[in-house]
């Protein structure tokens, strides 16, 4: 398992679409459509090195051993609610993936992440698990979500976000050095409210138009 990896997905299409998403005039419907496109493109990069195994198949002309993705169907995990915005594009690419959901909120007094929803497919330990949340800001939620998934047996985990803050990447890898992070950008910093600068605002609000 790679140590403390951060993969920046620099594909021009991802970077171009991300710029459109950052723009404050971009509507929710356009933002959602762009997020779906970007998440498909990101999934392509995140899954680039999935292990293959040869399976015997029959073409119209001959028997052959041909590569297919090894092991159980992979599991996408959405951190609610903004994570859902990344799931559809990934499912466009991997329609047979299983999907888990985890909901966490921050207790205003203790600032601890409290779980309010958790539903996962079986046999997490035998699946490639890909956790998605558009923004890796303080990383509190992502750290708690991955802790829970590990406690539930997951061992091969990747984390995908659209944007990360340097502080978030550091906190994330302090807790989970074995989990690689895939992102389209590591931005400049967090502001005093825990928002990423320059960022794109509140991802959940921009996806669902709830500002
Ligand atoms: N969550 C968001 O939606 N945006 C940020 O900038 C930080 C956390």
- What domain range is 42 assigned to? 3-48+76-208
Residue nearest to atom 5 of ligand 1 (CA): 195
Whichever domain contains 13, its CATH number is: 3.40.50.2020
Please give the positions annotated as active site.
Answer: 106, 110, 202, 205
Instruction: Quick: pLDDT tens for 120-147.
Output: 999 999 999 999 999 999 999 999 999 9
Name the average pLDDT for the chain: 95
Query: Based on the structure, what is the number of domains in the chain?
Result: 1
Taking the alpha carbons of 10, 136, 131, 29 in that order, is the dihedral positive or negative?
negative
Confirm whether 8 is domain-assigned.
Answer: yes
Confirm whether 58 is domain-assigned.
Answer: no
CA–CA separation, 202 and 82 (whole Å): 9
What torsion do the CA atoms of 66, 93, 10, 128 make, to the nearest 10 degrees? -70
Instruction: Quick: pLDDT tens for 81-106.
Output: 999 999 999 999 999 999 999 999 87
Predicted model pTM: 0.95
Q: Which two tokens stand for residue 170?
A: 């550091």
Helices (runs of H) and strands (runs of E) counted in the chain: 6, 12
Per-residue pLDDT at 100? 98
Ligand 1: nearest atom to the Cα of 202: 3
């Amino acid at each position: 398992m790679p140590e403390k990896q951060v993969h920046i997905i620099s594909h021009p299409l991802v970077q171009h679409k991300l710029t459109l998403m950052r723009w404050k005039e971009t509507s929710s419907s356009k933002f959602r459509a762009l997020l779906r496109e970007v998440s498909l493109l990101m999934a392509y990069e995140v899954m680039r090195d999935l292990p293959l195994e040869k399976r015997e198949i029959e073409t119209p002309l001959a028997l052959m051993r041909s590569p297919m993705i090894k092991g159980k169907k992979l599991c996408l995990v959405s951190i609610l609610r903004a994570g859902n915005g990344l799931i559809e594009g990934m499912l466009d690419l991997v329609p047979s993936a299983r999907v888990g959901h985890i909901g966490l909120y921050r207790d205003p007094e203790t600032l601890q992440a409290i779980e309010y929803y958790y539903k996962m497919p079986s046999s997490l330990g035998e699946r490639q698990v890909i956790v998605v949340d558009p923004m890796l800001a303080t990383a509190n939620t992502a750290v708690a979500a991955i802790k829970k998934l590990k406690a539930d047996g997951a061992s091969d985990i990747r984390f995908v976000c659209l944007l990360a803050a340097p502080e978030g990447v550091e906190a994330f890898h302090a807790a989970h050095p074995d989990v690689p992070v895939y992102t389209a950008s590591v931005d400049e910093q967090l502001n005093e409210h825990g928002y990423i600068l320059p960022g794109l605002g509140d991802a959940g609000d921009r996806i669902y138009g709830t500002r």
